[in-house]
Amino acid sequence: MPELPEVEVTRRGLLEPLSGRTICRITWSGHRLRTEIPRQLLAEHIAGQQIRTIDRRAKYLLLRMAGNATLLIHLGMTGKLGVMAEATARHKHDHLVLLLDNGMELRFNDSRRFGAIAVWPAEHALACEREFSGKEGLEPFGDQFTPKNLLRLARNRQVAVKSLLMNARLIAGIGNIYANELLFAARIHPLTPAGRLSARQWQRIIAEARQVLQTAIEAGGSTIADFLGASGHPGYFQLQFKVYGRKGLPCLECGRPLIKTSQAGRATYHCPLCQPTPRP
DNA sequence: CAATATACCTGGATGC
DNA sequence: TGCATCCAGGTATATT
C-alpha cells in the first residue's frame, strides 16, 4: 500500500538503474488504469528520451527526461515498479513496459489498476508542473509543514484529524496506515475534531509524522513486494506497526487492547488509554 | 461550502 | 470443492 515512504523507497531504488538510460520502446497491456494511459503522448514525448533523474511529489513519481518532458507515475493501491532483463517473463498485470538501452525493462505492474500514468510534454512543462503541484497538499518534510499552516487549514473545521491528515489536497503522502501510526505516536485520538487542536498539538503531529515516515523510509517502506532494485536486494521490509492491524492486541505502551473502528470507511486503530476520546 | 458516500479494480480471506 | 461475500485503500466524483 504505497504511501509516501514506499514511493520514496521506490524512487531511491530506481534512481541508479534508470538515470542516464534512454527509453527505446514503450508497450502497454491495452487496459486502462484509473485514467486512460496516454499512448499518443508516450509515443511522442517519452519514447526515445533519456531519463535524467527522478523526483517525488506527494505519492507521485516524476521521471524527468533530458529533453524536459516528464513521465508521471502514481502507484495507486497495488502498483509496483521493477527493473528486470527484457528476457524475463512478463507477469499478469504488467500494464506499461519501457525498454531501456541496456536490455533492461522498467515494468509497471498494477493488479487493481488504481494507478495512473501521465505525460507532461516539454513545451508545457512549467504549466503542467504548476497545475499539478497546486492541487497537492503540503509535503511533510517541506518547510511549509508548520503548526501555523496546519492551524490555518484546520480552522473552524469539524472534520476528524485523521481525515484531515489523509486529505491529499491539504497534506501530501499520508495514507491510512501512517495516519493511524502517527496519531498513536502523537497520543491524539483519530476522531478529534481538527479545528480543536492547539499549535502545540500540531507541532507534536508534525514531529511524529516526520519521525514515523523517516523511520519507514529507512526501513525500506512497509509493503512486502517483489520490487527489486538494480542491486538485486529486496526493496521493502515490513515495518513493525504499533497500532495498524493490531486489533485486540496489547498496546505496546500501556498493555490495553487496541481498538479497531471504521472512520469514513477506513480501518482505524487506536489505544483507548494512550489516545483518550476528546471531551465533547 | 463541508462532510460523507460511492465508483473504480482484483485478489485474498472467510463463510456456507 | 465451489461459489458468494466482504475487505483492503488512493483518488475523483457524486450526494447530502
The CATH topology of domain A147-270 is Helicase, Ruva Protein; domain 3 (1.10.8)
pLDDT the model gives residue A228: 42
The CATH topology of domain A4-135 is N-terminal domain of MutM-like DNA repair proteins (3.20.190)
A86 is catalytic: no
pLDDT the model gives residue A233: 38
pLDDT digits (tens, 9 = 90+) for A210-222: 999 998 888 875 5
Confidence of residue A1 (pLDDT cuts 50, 70, 90): low
| Residues 232-261 of A with CB within 7 A of strand B | none
Nearest alpha carbon to residue A107 among A18, A224, A213: A18
Whether A29 sits with its Cβ under 7 A from any strand B atom: the answer reads no
A59 is catalytic: yes
Cell of A61: 513519481
The average pLDDT across A173-179 equals: 91
pLDDT digits (tens, 9 = 90+) for A180-211: 999 999 999 999 999 999 999 999 999 999 99
Q: Where are the domains of chain A?
A: 4-135, 147-270
A148 is catalytic: no
The pLDDT mean for chain A works out to: 88
A215/A101 Cα distance (integer angstroms) = 35
A3 is catalytic: yes
pLDDT the model gives residue A224: 36
Angstrom distance, A245 CA to C4 C1': 25
